[in-house]
Amino acid sequence: MESKKLELIVFSGLFVVLSVLTFFVFQPFLRVIVLAAVLSVLVHPLYVKMVAMFRGHRSVAAALLVIMAFVFLIAPVLFFGLQILGQAQNFFYWTHADQGQYIQLAQQSIDVFIQHFVPGFSFNLADSISRLLAFVSSNLGGLISQTTFIFFETFFVLVTFFFFLRDGEKMLDSVVSLSPFEKAQNKEMISSVNRTITSVVRGTIFVGLIRFGLLAAAFYLLGIPNALLWGSIAGIIGAIPGLGTPFAVIPAFAYLLLYGNIFSVIGMGLFGVLLFFFVDNMLAIYFLGKGLDVPALFILFAILGGVIFWGPLGLIFGPIVLSLFISMIDIYKILVLNKQ
């Protein structure tokens, strides 16, 4: 009895130590693993069809999907990312070189508008921009120097994506076999995570890409400089739950009001209304509403909290953690409270 207890203690200690060491080994590749896993979940239904089409040749089907993912998803994202980075660099250099005239005009416009509501309001725009430029100049070089690393990371994402497609079911079965829960409960948790990943990626990232493309095209047609840069920023702002398209369009509307003509202002206003109606109130709600059967407020907090805690990956991690928590509550009701 004492021997068994000692074995259990030694095993538990070794297991904890090795688990921590394993985490640190895989931690540098966490982003690669998560992105590959998300891609494999999204295209798994298509992968199943392609395996049937190629008569069970899983490697062939997985390789074709990797090629398609690179050509139609990753390569365009890398291309536009580099273009946006170049526009950001040019904008900050231009702003730093000739910021006085435009900052004074913007400063006066902001002060006059806000002082109608808050007398005595004062905001030092020049000082804020100087701080922003100092931050950007100190970090932009490092970001550019990581371009080679990004390409290597993309390669590893594609390789991991291939193996997740081909061997993902075996990997998942191995993990599930260690679960103490019943088969139906394990299946429900996996299904919940699958629905969450699908709805969050489609409702946040895909819809965000659609919003970015439409905004960048509108900014370019209406004569707003660095359209890709501002379109990407507006797309990110619009993707944040609780903000949406209005907060992405209002700055462009204000810019056109100051520097554009009345037709551009009207066009931007109409475009913003249409974008808000079709993207925010149809696409985003449709996709997000299918994944988690919880109030939108909790989805908002899950996404924002995930971003704060994990960074960009929190867009996916936050809702996944929420979905697992809800699944655990359902299991608790069955195991402890005996409620079906």
Same structural domain for residues 174 and 224?
A: no
Q: What is the pLDDT of residue 160?
A: 94
Whether 199 and 157 share a structural domain: no
* pLDDT score for 66: 93
Write down the pLDDT at residue 135.
54
Cβ within 8 Å of residue 169, ≥6 positions away: none
Same-domain pairing of 148 and 16: yes
Residue 313 scores a pLDDT above 80: no
Q: Which of 37-41, 178-182, 211-215 has the lowest mean pLDDT?
A: 178-182
- 92 and 160 together in one domain: yes
End residue of a domain, out of 142, 158, 178: 178
CA 92 – CA 128 distance, rounded (Å): 13
Last residue of a domain, one of 136, 159, 178: 178
pLDDT at 49: 92
Residue 252: predicted pLDDT: 81
**Domain count across the chain:** 2
CA angle 223, 228, 230 (to 5 degrees): 75
Average pLDDT score, the chain: 75
pLDDT band of residue 75 (cuts 50, 70, 90) is confident
| 207 in the same domain as 131 | no
Q: Give the HSE-up count for residue 171: Cα atoms under 13 Å, Cβ half-sphere.
A: 9
- 157 pLDDT above the threshold of 60: yes
198 band by pLDDT with thresholds 50, 70 and 90: confident
